[in-house]
């Protein structure tokens, strides 16, 4: 996000192989009218027309209303729209994805499910507001993030993006078709017409309070929130909603205009959070951005976005690691969080319960204190559907190995909760688990994983249909080469994706000792709470004396030039998450290394060598 077009140093302009329609300029629509549900064609009232070639079955369920047609773009692997799709052009910018370079605009986009960041819903809304969205989304598995983005686009902004979930058999037909149309309760795939079942959110078992919110007795903002929650609950197969104790808002990065449009629209409608709610990292150091050379317009709009959520009652925590705050969720506590790494850590390491809620739904959950009772809120949703047996390299090297492992586990279990075996005798710190969870979230859509011997629910029974996959030396080698594409020399060290913990800051200070970062700049991004703790115990002073820039509020997924040094071409990071997303966000390739390697590069300028176990 260094530049609006997502082009960076040593990268070509974002050009799709199959763009549909002319490039569009983002449109700000602060006064966009709400589209009443009755005027959108209420789900469940579709007109059915059965022709001679109609195949009546339960093969297709329409999750978001609308009609569409277009050429098929088949993706056999899910895409994270955030960090994987350019929000202006609709081009696939994830260099690790098989469809890199394809364009999704105007296509019938068919993929098993989405993956990665909760912020994909915001990217889809941005595409929809600028008429660059897919004509239709078709999934073969459970999917929430893009479904929610499409629902918000239609319900609040009148931009229709239909969403359909289909059986594996029908999905196979669709991905081999050239063109698909959705209309009149049917999908036309080649010569076949398949009936599409409408969704029925009206059959949910709602509490008296839910019904009052849905009826608008608590205002229009709460009515819209409950309406969307009911639609998502029906899409997830839930029969009712459940209480949650706290929320975490993710859609507060100014990666595109849609986040600002949405937040200010809801604030203008009078939305207020009803449960304790924290805010994710934002796009500026809220208190000091004016001193950091940022363009005034960008700084003010980014601040408006953060302030809108504060106005709605959220706490200005500005961290993508809310589990590092003073009172993290407890074992078994039901919460309503967004931000993929935070959700995965909360479920996996803390044993709390939260679905990986999409951006915007997180606000609706925070407003109502209610979430669909589905997925990992249920005991069966937390059981492993795949066993991943890991053989770690004998010469393990540094802690960057855990970033590689998390990335590999996500690839091995892109759509299901895995149980990881083979690490029982290995010491894993909280920061190691944080690294695994964050990297796992880049390649998997699952909201958690279990690690035998390390996480609190690893003893849950594995589902009977669970299969087994293995990760060994060959896979670690592949991952290292995939995530280490930067060429020496390194000219920027990036720490804090997710936000660095106090322990990580202390380790950095200890490794630096009396050395100075004279060869390569080092930037560490942290939450305000960790910055304050580091100031209190003297760690912050040590780091700053060594030439380290410690910046609160922003993270590497939201940093912009000139805070990100414009001259930097090659980045060294300890984060598997940033190693995965960096090129799509900044146009720069990265190398991956532990904190010791990061310090050595900053002090001496030497890039880390290949790990011993690769040789």
| H or E element at residue 137 | strand 136-139
394-398, 409-413, 423-427, 506-510: lowest mean pLDDT where? 394-398
The predicted-structure confidence for 374-385, as pLDDT tens digits, reads as follows 999 999 999 999
Residues above pLDDT 90, as percent of the chain = 84
pTM reported for the whole predicted model: 0.88
pLDDT for residue 3 is more than 90? no
Query: For residue 571, is pLDDT > 80?
Result: yes
Specify the pairing of strand 549-552 against strand 467-471: unpaired
Q: Which pLDDT value is given to residue 614?
A: 75
pLDDT in tens, 159-183: 999 999 999 999 999 999 999 999 9
- Are 163 and 135 a contacting pair, CB within 8 Å? no
Which tens digits make up the pLDDT trace of 66-100? 999 999 999 999 999 988 999 999 999 998 899 99
Q: How many CB atoms lie within 10 A of CB 374?
A: 22
Pairing of strands 549-552, 522-526: parallel
As given in the structure block, the two tokens for residue 426 are: 């290995």
Q: Which helix (H) or strand (E) holds 268?
A: helix 257-268
Dihedral sign from CA coordinates of 528, 530, 536, 540: negative
The reported pLDDT for the residue numbered 615 is 66
Nearest one of 199, 150, 186 to 41, comparing CA atoms:
199
- What pLDDT score was predicted for residue 34? 42
57 is catalytic: no
The per-residue pLDDT for range 189-229, each reduced to its tens digit, is 999 999 999 998 888 999 999 999 999 999 999 999 999 99
Q: What is the pLDDT of residue 138?
A: 98
pLDDT band at 16 (very low <50, low <70, confident <90, very high): low
Q: What is the pLDDT of residue 584?
A: 87
Q: What is the mean pLDDT of residues 511-525?
A: 97
Work out the pLDDT band at 452, boundaries 50, 70, 90.
very high
Contacts of 403 (CB under 8 A, 6+ apart): 435, 436, 438, 439, 483, 574, 575, 576, 577, 579, 592
pLDDT at 438 over 90: yes
How many helices (DSSP H) and strands (DSSP E) are in the chain? Answer: 17, 24
The C-alpha atoms of residue 427 and residue 392 are separated, in whole angstroms, by 12
Specify the 3-state DSSP secondary structure of 586.
helix
Q: Which domains does the chain have, with CATH numbers?
A: 37-199 (3.50.30.10), 208-378 (3.30.499), 383-482 (no CATH), 485-614 (3.30.499.10)
Q: What's the pLDDT score for residue 394?
A: 80
Q: What is the pLDDT of residues 291-341, one digit of tens each?
A: 999 999 999 999 999 999 999 999 999 999 999 999 999 999 999 999 999
Whole-Å CA distances, 272 to 253, 268, 276 = 19, 10, 11
Q: Collapsing DSSP states into helix, strand and coil, what is residue 441?
A: helix
Catalytic residue among 80, 105, 114, 117: 117
pLDDT at 526 over 90: yes
- Which residue did the predictor score with more confidence, 405 or 39? 405
| Per-chain mean pLDDT for the chain | 90
Residues 439-455 have a mean pLDDT of 96
- Burial of 133-172, coded b for 16+ CB within 10 Å and e otherwise, reads bbbbbbbbbbbbbbbbbbbbbbbbbbbbbbbbbbeeebbe
How, if at all, do strands 241-243 and 370-372 pair?
Answer: antiparallel
Are 604 and 572 within 8 A, CB to CB? no
Handedness of CA 476, 479, 481, 483 (dihedral sign): negative
Measuring CA to CA, which residue among 355, 403, 307 is closest to residue 598?
A: 403
pLDDT tens track for 17-32: 654 443 333 333 334 4
pLDDT digits (tens, 9 = 90+) for 232-258: 999 999 999 999 999 999 999 998 999
């Amino acid at each position: 996000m260094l530049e609006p077009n997502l082009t960076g140093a040593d990268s070509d302009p974002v050009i799709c192989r199959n763009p549909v329609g002319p490039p569009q300029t983002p449109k700000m629509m602060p006064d966009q009218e709400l589209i009443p549900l009755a005027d959108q064609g209420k789900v469940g009232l579709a007109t059915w027309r059965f022709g001679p070639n109609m195949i009546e079955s339960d093969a297709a369920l329409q999750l978001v209303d609308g009609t569409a047609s277009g050429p098929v773009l088949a993706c056999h692997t899910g895409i994270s729209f955030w960090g994987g799709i350019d929000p202006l052009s609709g081009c696939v910018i994830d260099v690790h994805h098989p469809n890199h370079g394809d364009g999704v605009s105007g296509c019938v986009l068919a993929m098993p499910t989405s993956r990665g960041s909760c912020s994909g819903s915001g990217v889809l809304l941005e595409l929809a507001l600028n008429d660059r969205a897919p004509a239709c989304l078709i999934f073969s598995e459970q999917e929430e993030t893009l479904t929610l983005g499409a629902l918000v686009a239609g319900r609040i902004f009148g931009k229709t993006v239909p969403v359909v979930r289909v059986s594996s058999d029908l999905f196979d037909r669709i991905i081999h078709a050239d063109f698909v149309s959705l209309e009149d309760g049917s999908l036309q795939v080649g010569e076949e017409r398949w009936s599409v079942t409408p969704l029925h959110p009206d059959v949910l078992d709602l509490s008296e309070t839910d019904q009052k919110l849905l009826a608008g007795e608590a205002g229009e903002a709460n009515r819209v929130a409950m309406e969307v929650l009911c639609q998502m609950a029906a899409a997830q197969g839930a029969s009712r909603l459940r209480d949650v104790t706290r929320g975490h808002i993710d859609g507060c990065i100014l990666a595109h205009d849609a986040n600002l449009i949405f937040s200010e629209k809801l604030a203008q409608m009078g939305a207020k959070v009803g449960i304790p709610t924290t805010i994710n990292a934002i796009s500026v150091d809220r208190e000091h951005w004016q001193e950091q050379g940022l363009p005034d317009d960008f700084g003010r709009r980014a601040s408006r976005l953060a302030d809108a959520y504060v106005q709605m009652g959220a706490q200005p925590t500005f961290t993508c690691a809310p589990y590092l705050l003073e009172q993290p969720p407890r074992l078994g506590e039901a919460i309503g969080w967004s931000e993929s790494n935070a959700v995965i850590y909360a479920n996996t390491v803390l044993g709390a319960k939260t679905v990986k809620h999409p951006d915007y739904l997180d606000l609706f959950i925070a407003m109502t204190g209610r979430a669909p009772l589905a997925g990992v809120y249920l005991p069966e949703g937390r059981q492993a559907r795949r066993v991943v047996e890991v053989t770690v390299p004998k010469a393990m090297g540094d802690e960057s190995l855990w970033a590689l492992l998390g990335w590999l586990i996500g690839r091995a279990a892109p759509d299901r909760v895995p149980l990881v075996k083979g690490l029982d005798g290995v010491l894993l710190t909280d920061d190691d688990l944080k690294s695994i969870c964050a990297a796992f979230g880049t390649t998997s859509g699952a909201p958690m994983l279990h690690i035998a011997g390390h996480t609190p629910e690893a003893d849950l029974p594995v589902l009977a249909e669970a299969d087994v996959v293995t990760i060994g030396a060959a896979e670690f080698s592949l991952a290292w080469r995939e995530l280490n594409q930067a060429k020496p020399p390194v000219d920027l060290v990036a720490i804090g994706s997710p936000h660095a913990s106090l322990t990580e800051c202390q380790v950095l200070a200890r490794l630096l000792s009396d050395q100075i970062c004279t060869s390569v700049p080092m930037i560490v991004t942290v939450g305000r709470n960790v910055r304050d703790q580091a100031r209190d115990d003297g760690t912050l002073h040590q780091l700053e004396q060594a030439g380290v820039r410690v910046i609160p509020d922003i993270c590497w997924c939201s940093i912009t030039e000139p805070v990100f040094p414009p001259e930097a071409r090659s980045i060294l990071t300890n984060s598997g998450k940033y190693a995965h997303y960096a090129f799509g966000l900044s146009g720069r390739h990265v190398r991956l290394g532990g904190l010791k390697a990061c310090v050595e590069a900053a002090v001496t300028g030497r890039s880390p060598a290949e790990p011993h176990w690769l040789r």
